[in-house]
Chain A
């Protein structure tokens, strides 16, 4: 069954607000959300955005599900599903979770996050949504390197890791580990050393421990 036909395209691709601006669907003109942007964010109103309510950047946007939309039933589902099918934009679904609508929240979360794979953020009111959207826009313009949750890709030295690995072998402390690595500089070479080679490096007892560690059968071969 086909979904009811929409006017124009469901999503306008490539809407890119300039710095400090947000592109707002015409239907939000005069709303509490837009009033809340005052002093934080400049709104650019546009028609023909389709299902999208706010464009934060050229790759992310907000779709808003109101308290009444949530209470009314499953109409919002078709809208979000259509959006998911129509675009690869990062969709952030902002949903009004109030005392009246909170009983419907688990179902929305399940649908949005688990079924559609989109992001869901609850707000208690339009003024909270306003704050949140302003913050999301602000964050979009920040450099990635300033995000505390992003892992920095720094070239790390492998020496401490390799030394720690050798010290995981029973009976091998720091001194023996360094002696072993002087003769067999990689874990791969160490694992392939013969009993005689190992004995010459660290003596019979440690040599046996190293051989045993690498060659003990751990799992039934499949």
Chain B
């Protein structure tokens, strides 16, 4: 019931990719103004939004997802997200109609259904949105659900000076997302500290799962052999 809900004290934070801004400025302004979300623009590269320490959100229009031309790129992107996030969510947004244009009826194809089926089987969560405002509401809800599960983004999103160099180094580590690298920047006192941490410390500091921490640990201790390059 309503009474069981925790107080809305902590504002939630969402990271948005700087390249995605052109595609949807309304999503960002809606997140900030209507939902009170701290929406920070960063160079995420691999995904459109990060809503928690473990969840990435990709935004696709209905026409993009139902076009076979786009599949290779979409598949590559989803695989890349699964490489660095434990949860991957896809928001399928209805295409906007230009002023004066009659809203086209969506012709559902077998291709579209097979894409949905394959995405579900790959463990991707699907959400359906009627437009940018709806997308913002879904992002805010995802971030709040993740906050209730103690996975909220809880470090400063600005990185300056020496920390910026460390961030680039951390982003080069295998399976490390932008938010994991940010956590590393703010939760380890030096790069040496991180490199010399045990698996448990890595998992706790970067807010990643144990298997991911093990992968990072292995990479840091891996003995380079020039002949294998």
Contact of B44 with A by CB under 8 A: no
Could you mark each residue 129-144 of chain A with 1 if its beta carbon is under 8 Å from any beta carbon of chain B, else 0?
0011001101110001
> Which one of A121, A182, A191 lies within 8 Å of B116 (CB-CB)?
A121
Give the number of residue pairs across the A-B interface with Cβ within 8 Å.
158
Pairwise interchain contact A110-B141, C-beta atoms closer than 8 A: yes
Contact of B223 with A by CB under 8 A: yes
Contact of A168 with B by CB under 8 A: yes
Stretch at the interface among B1-9, B49-57, B106-114: B106-114
Contact residues, B78-104 vs A (CB, 8 A): 78-79, 82-83
Pairwise interchain contact A162-B222, C-beta atoms closer than 8 A: yes
Pairwise interchain contact A218-B222, C-beta atoms closer than 8 A: no
> Which one of A110, A165, A217 lies within 8 Å of B189 (CB-CB)?
A217
Contact of B75 with A by CB under 8 A: yes
Could you mark each residue 28-59 of chain B with 1 if its beta carbon is under 8 Å from any beta carbon of chain A, else 0?
00000000000000000000000000000000
Shortest distance between the CB of A154 and any CB in chain B (Å): 12
Q: Which residues of A contact B142 (CB under 8 A)?
A: 114
Q: Which residues of A contact B220 (CB under 8 A)?
A: 186-188
Alpha-carbon distance between A140 and B124 when the two chains are bound, in angstroms: 15
Alpha-carbon distance between A120 and B120 when the two chains are bound, in angstroms: 10
Contact surface of A with B, Cβ cutoff 8 Å: 92, 102, 105-106, 109-110, 113-114, 119-124, 128, 131-132, 135-136, 138-140, 144, 147-151, 157-165, 168-170, 178, 181-182, 185-188, 191-192, 213-221
Closest 3 A/B residue pairs (Cβ): A149-B122, A139-B117, A148-B75
